[in-house]
Amino acid sequence: MKLIRKNVDKTGDGSVVLVPEDPEDMWHAYNLIAEGDQVRSSTIRKVQNESSTGSSSSSRVRTTLTISVETIDFDTQAQVLRLKGRNIEENQFVKMGAYHTIDLEVNRAFTLTKPEWDSIALERIEMACDVTQNADVAAVIMQDGLAHVCLITSSMTLVRSKIDVAIPRKRKGYVQQHEKGLNKFYEAVMQGIMRHVNFDVVKCVLIASPGFVKDQFYEYMFQQAVKTDNKVLIDNKSKFMLVHSSSGFKHSLKEVLQDPAVIAKMSDTKAAGEVKALETFYTTLQLEPAKAFYGKKHVCKAADAQAIETLLISDNLFRCQDLATRKEYVQLVESVRDSGGEVKIFSSMHVSGE
């Protein structure tokens, strides 16, 4: 999703202009648009024309309409979002108050105006527009002296950093120079990983190289992590995976991603965290029922007591038609975050959210 313009004031009133770039963005739009919102977009309208002789003909014209949304229909198979509502702006083809259905299209901008933008809606825009939020796989493709740190999303691969370090050759009596150069290179790659890989989002980090470069780098990185007490790397050690590639250039990533072991590790990485949280909840419910609560009433009481460590909530609840009910859930999420708790919003389109 591309954010063209954002005009939201401190009171939460305002509009945003967005361009969906792939079918997955339609899902984000479905979660953003609520009944009562205003949507302005280009659409096709069938218009009846009457000639001076009394004969009538119909033609289809492309026009730009602004509607007040009354019905939202999301076709999950075709990934099409249909918005039905009344026209609220004067138009030469459509009368004020006339009903029209807008089909949101990929690569066509639309303007969304809400009476109040809450933190969940703004967070959804941030998540949809920030590619690094969707990149739950990172890859380091390397060979001696050259490395590329990449982030992989469902639709693209982004090279975040290219590291090129000259390493002196091994010569008789000059082995130390070679080792110094190698350590300098490994340190630069390690800093590149720390700077560009967000471990809160990334579920899998691939380290690929020809020969034993990957193994030597992996060993160096975790020796340094233990020495410097780097908690981020030590806590996420299980996310690293060593694989073979033919070179340290970006094009080698294609062969890496076709490796069956990599496909198995990467499959469903996005929902792996949610599934794990759900498993933890069920286990706690069985072994320590006093520490796990479900149902709105009990969860709200726990939130009032600031006793929630992890809140599991479905995005279905933020699509409710009653604005007051939506506000309640938004306040619940904000209060849990304010008291230092973690919030996992489950997608109702995934098995973990069902």
Q: Is 116 within 8 Å of 136 (Cβ atoms)?
A: no
Q: What is the pLDDT of residues 147-168, one digit of tens each?
A: 999 887 655 677 888 999 998 8
Token representation of residue 347: 């997608």
Per-residue model confidence (pLDDT) at position 298: 93
Please give the CATH number for the structural domain made up of 293-346. 3.30.1330.30
Q: What is the pLDDT of residues 111-142, one digit of tens each?
A: 999 988 988 888 888 878 876 666 578 899 99
Per-residue model confidence (pLDDT) at position 273: 66
Among the residues of 110-165, which ranges form H helices?
119-129, 131-134
**Pairwise CA distance, residues 106 & 1, whole Å:** 9
- Give the mean model confidence (pLDDT) for residues 240-265: 83
Q: What is the pLDDT of residues 59-118, one digit of tens each?
A: 889 999 999 999 999 887 677 899 999 999 988 888 899 999 999 988 899 999 998 898
Per-residue model confidence (pLDDT) at position 154: 56
Per-residue model confidence (pLDDT) at position 169: 83
CA distances from 58 to 50, 65, 87, 171, 316 (A): 9, 19, 20, 84, 40
Helix, strand, coil percentages (3-state) for the chain, rounded to 5, are 40, 30, 30
CATH architecture of 137-267: 2-Layer Sandwich (3.30)
Per-residue model confidence (pLDDT) at position 164: 93
Mean predicted lDDT score pLDDT of the chain? 86
- % the chain with pLDDT above 90: 42
Among the residues of 57-174, which ranges form H helices?
119-129, 131-134
Report DSSP state, residue 35: T
Domain(s) of CATH 2.30.30.870: residues in the chain? 2-51+58-129
Token representation of residue 175: 């082995």
Domain(s) of CATH 3.30.420.60: residues in the chain? 137-267
**Pairwise CA distance, residues 162 & 257, whole Å:** 19
Residue 320 has pLDDT above 80, yes or no: no
Instruction: Report CA Rg, the chain.
Output: 26
Backbone angles phi, psi at 157, to 5 degrees: -120, 125
Query: How many residues does this entry show for the chain?
Result: 354
Q: What is the pLDDT of residues 327-350, one digit of tens each?
A: 889 899 999 999 999 998 887 765
Predicted structure pTM score: 0.62
Domain(s) of CATH 3.30.1330.30: residues in the chain? 293-346
- Give the mean model confidence (pLDDT) for residues 17-24: 84
Token representation of residue 11: 């009171």
Strands 2-8 and 14-19: antiparallel
Residue 251 has pLDDT above 90, yes or no: no
**Pairwise CA distance, residues 35 & 112, whole Å:** 12
Distance between the two ends of the chain, CA-based, in angstroms?
Answer: 25
Give the type of residue at 314.
S
Backbone angles phi, psi at 23, to 5 degrees: -55, -30
Query: What CATH superfamily is the domain 2-51+58-129?
Result: Pelota, domain A (2.30.30.870)
